[in-house]
Structure 1
Amino acid sequence: MATDLPPDLRPMLESGLEGLALDPSHAPRLLAYLALLLRWNAAYNLTAIRDPLEMVTKHLLDSLAMHTYVDSLVDVGGALADLGTGAGLPGIPLALVKPGLRVTLVESAGKKARFMRQAIRELGLADVRVAESRIETLDEPGAYAAITARALATLPLIIELGGHLLSDDGVLLAMKGTYPADEVAQLPAGWTLRESHPLTVPGLQAERHLVVVGRG
């Protein structure tokens, strides 16, 4: 499936995976996902980024920069809900490099949900499912040990839309650019900042942070 991609993509991705302390042997399946995304993107406009080299950095490696923070979910069998996931980012790349990670991809747009179902089938992701739903109407209260969101909304709005999905001790793993001090200050009552971690994305100069929010 990855034969349609430029030949320099694989070494670039392998180098990025090594930079994130991930096994470069994950590269073929990640590139298979990318090839499928490129094909669907031509017809369905799933993502604004269309250059394959840019997709490696801004889609795959950017999604994977938070990978160490889902290890505890794998260890205890906890589930992750990826809210407003679009074409499956970061949920599908995370699932590809973390076997056993249970992921629900929450997306209301039908064409994006159809793409993700196809990707799940082709990539054999048995622990990944699509919930074709608006976040706030997904009727799975307390079902998740963690929720994540990438470039979706402010922290208060993410909590407003998806906080009901978290178990009592569950956490929001929010992927942000610069540290969102104003958003942290506006967290709703009963929610608090647990941790904040600067992230390094190989090949990307922009700031990235993982912000962890839980019930106070």
Structure 2
Amino acid sequence: MFAPDRLRLAGRYADLLATEGVVRGLIGPREGARLWERHLLNCAVLGELVPDGAEVCDVGSGAGLPGLVLAIVRPDVHVTLVEPLLRRTTFLQEVVDELDLTGVEVIRARAEALHGDREFDLVTSRAVAPLGRLLSWSMPLVAPTGAMVAMKGASAADEVAAVEKELAQLGCAPPEVLTVGAGVADSPTTAIRVVWAEPARVRLARAQPPSKKSTSRRPRG
């Protein structure tokens, strides 16, 4: 899973999670003993779903799970970590600098702030929000031929069944509930993968400049 030259980086990241991550409230104090199985390996197996050389966006990255792990296990990809909280982005940037992860960008913002400006081959998330909200945050960032991959637990199928309306409104294809890491990790990872139903229509819609009426926004209270 981790190549020999990347295992050292993963170990150092685990050390930072167990120390600074706990001190800053990014990881629970009881998580230290199970960081590898519950967090690092759980995220690393997601690399099976990442295309070669992909542009990856990790929404609500938190302590860097799964984004930083993917950057470590898959040095061929470029990862953008999107996180709105300063204490978290500070930690993320410190890890990126210490591990010299040149293919990682840290952005302090909500995912919605990137809508219309950036698109990615893969948009990931882990324990961020229910699927309905994730779709509205993530799918506008997904390239026409890309995918959203959300790490979920045992309730994944129930979450999919509950968002039929949102999927139709956004123009998504029926989601796939996938299991990755079987035979590699003791507890395989469950993920929901969502792609566009008609990629060509997504490209066309994004190519059209918005009208003046559509760009006007009411101020938020």
Normalised to the residue count of structure 2, the TM-score between the two structures is 0.78
Name the counterpart of 1:36. 16
Note the C-alpha offset of 1:156.
1.9
**Distance across 2 between alignment mates of 1:50 and 1:131:** 28
User: 1:163-215 deviations in whole A, cap 9, x for unaligned?
Assistant: 211112221011111252232231421112353322336233xx631221011
Q: How many residues align?
A: 190
* Structure-2 change in CA distance of 1:167 and 1:215 (3 Å): same
Name the counterpart of 1:195. 176
8 Å Cα contact 1:193-1:212 kept in structure 2: no
Name the counterpart of 2:93. 117
**Distance across 2 between alignment mates of 1:121 and 1:140:** 29
User: 1:80-101 deviations in whole A, cap 9, x for unaligned?
Assistant: 1001110101111111111121
Name the counterpart of 1:145. 121
**Distance across 2 between alignment mates of 1:89 and 1:153:** 14
Note the C-alpha offset of 1:102.
0.5
Name the counterpart of 1:209. 190
Q: Which sections of structure 2, spanning at least 5 residues, go unmatched?
A: 198-221
Q: From the CA coordinates, give the structure whose radius of gyration is larger.
A: 2
Query: Is 1:167 the counterpart of 2:143 in the alignment?
Result: yes
CA-atom RMSD, angstroms? 2.0
Normalised to the residue count of structure 1, the TM-score between the two structures is 0.80
Which 4+ runs in 1 deviate beyond 6 A? none
* Structure-2 change in CA distance of 1:65 and 1:179 (3 Å): farther
Name the counterpart of 1:10. none
Name the counterpart of 1:55. 35
Q: Secondary structure at the match of 1:130?
A: strand
Q: Which sections of structure 1, spanning at least 5 residues, go unmatched?
A: 1-16
Q: Spell out the pairing of 1:5-154 with structure 2 (5 A cutoff).
A: 17=1, 22-48=2-28, 50-70=30-50, 72-74=51-53, 78-139=54-115, 141-154=117-130
**Distance across 1 between alignment mates of 2:124 and 2:193:** 9
User: 1:121-171 deviations in whole A, cap 9, x for unaligned?
Assistant: 111111101110112222454521110111112222111112211112221
* Structure-2 change in CA distance of 1:134 and 1:147 (3 Å): same
